Structure 1
Amino acid sequence: MTFPRLIAALTMMLAAAGSQAYDFKTVGANPVILYDAPSTKGGKLFVVPRGAPLEVVLAYGEWLKVRDVNGELAWTEAKGLSARRNVIVKSANLKVRATPDDAASTVFTADKGVLLELSETAAGGWIKVRHRDGLIGYVKNSEVWGI
């Protein structure tokens, strides 16, 4: 293979990898530490509380490079994350609706930063969520982070 073809092939592979769907995980039962390198010997950057969603950017053995709700990148051990899905409300006074419709009645209102459990996706860019108090409703994908 010639050098220009090799470069073209590598570029296409990188473009394909960049177009993959986002993979989100949730911090498990215990808070996790985010490091500046994929090792417990790396510098400790943050502690992320249980239930918080993290976007998985890269996997490296037992370590994951993740992005938090603020856009910060760091490393954490994969064992501390769960496949369970939570989302974070992005704006104040988010109306959680009874059905996936802007005109639907409001079940409850959630403040910015509130964690909601993702129950299922619905048509038209809506998701079904559950508050820790047991209330269930629908919000638009664009109104939360972690999906």
Structure 2
Amino acid sequence: MAKPHGKPGTKAPLIAENDDEDNEREAIKEINKVEYGKSTGLPVPRFVALKSRETNWRNGPGHRYPIKWVYSQRGYPVQVIAEFEGWRKIRDVDGEDGWVHEALISGQRNAVVIANHGQVNAEANSQLIIYRKPDESSYPIAKLEFGVIVKLKKCQEKWCKVEAAGYNGWARRENLWGVMPDEIIK
């Protein structure tokens, strides 16, 4: 990548060495682009959790739209992908989307345990190991099946502190759906 030249305070054109760098730069900008919901002023996309034991997902933003799905798990993490007045378009871990009323979601941070496609160990492909410290050489505390919902306590670059079934420990963030790729939770 070329560096700008000139006196302090002046701008020089950035010269790309090739088109691949331009494409990569544009892709990074697109990934890191944060938009804000017109209704809430909060980032979109963002993760939230279902507040109710039974949540109707609709085909559109309003009670007049037919029910598409009924989710029956309080605390299930979903991603807000759009807002319209008091309605939020949300997506689940499987990529299904629908509209729910804002009263049916909360800011609670949870995640779903998912598979890491890079794992080769057969046992690792069916369970997630929770460690005492954010290090795979640390003492393993528990093993969680894929699909289990965990509470997110905090997240660092590659690890998240989670709570599930009375266990508190660290899990690799690549095995958790419910946290943005570069999101830090304190």
Identity of aligned residues (%): 24
Structure with the higher fraction of residues in strand conformation = 1
Distance in 1, matches of 2:30 and 2:112, equals: 28
Q: Which ranges in structure 1 are unaligned for 5 or more consecutive residues?
A: 1-14
Number of the residue aligned with 2:123: none
Cα deviations across residues 1-56 of structure 1 (Å, max 9, x unaligned)?
xxxxxxxxxxxxxx779722641000114321101110112111111221100100
Which of 67, 83, 86 does residue 110 from structure 2 map onto?
86
The count of aligned residue pairs is 131
Task: State which structure, 1 or 2, has the greater radius of gyration over its C-alpha atoms.
Answer: 2
Richer in helix (by share): 1
Report the aligned-residue RMSD.
1.8
Pairwise mapping of residues 69-108 of structure 1 onto structure 2 (< 5 A)? 69-91=93-115, 92-108=126-142
8 Å contact kept, 1:30–1:80: no
Change in 2 beyond 3 A, CA 1:102/1:93: same
Deviation by residue 1:69-118 (Cα, 9 ceiling, x = unmatched): 10012111111101111100013211011100111111000001000000
Contact 1:90 1:144 in 2 (8 A): yes
CA distance in 2, matches of 1:117, 1:104: 21
1:49-88 alignment, distance < 5 Å:
49-88=73-112
Alignment partner, residue 146 of structure 2: 112
Q: 3-state SS of the aligned residue for 2:136?
A: coil
CA gap 1:69/1:134 in 2 versus in 1, 3 angstroms: same
**Match for residue 158 of structure 2?**
125
SS of the equivalent of 1:79 reads helix
User: What SS is found at the alignment partner of 2:93?
Assistant: coil
Distance in 1 (alpha carbons) for counterparts of 2:96 and 2:52:
22
Preserved CA contact (<8 Å) 1:36 1:42: yes
C-alpha distance in 2 between matches for 1:34 and 1:129: 27
Relative to structure 1, the CA distance from residue 27 to residue 100 in structure 2 (aligned partners, 3 Å threshold; closer, same or farther) is same
TM-score (norm: length of structure 1): 0.82
Give the gaps of 5 or more residues in structure 2: 1-28, 35-42, 116-125, 180-186
Higher RCO (C-alpha under 8 Å, 6+ residues apart): 1
The TM-score, its normalising length taken from structure 2, stands at 0.66
Establish whether residue 142 from structure 1 lines up as the match of residue 174 from structure 2.
yes
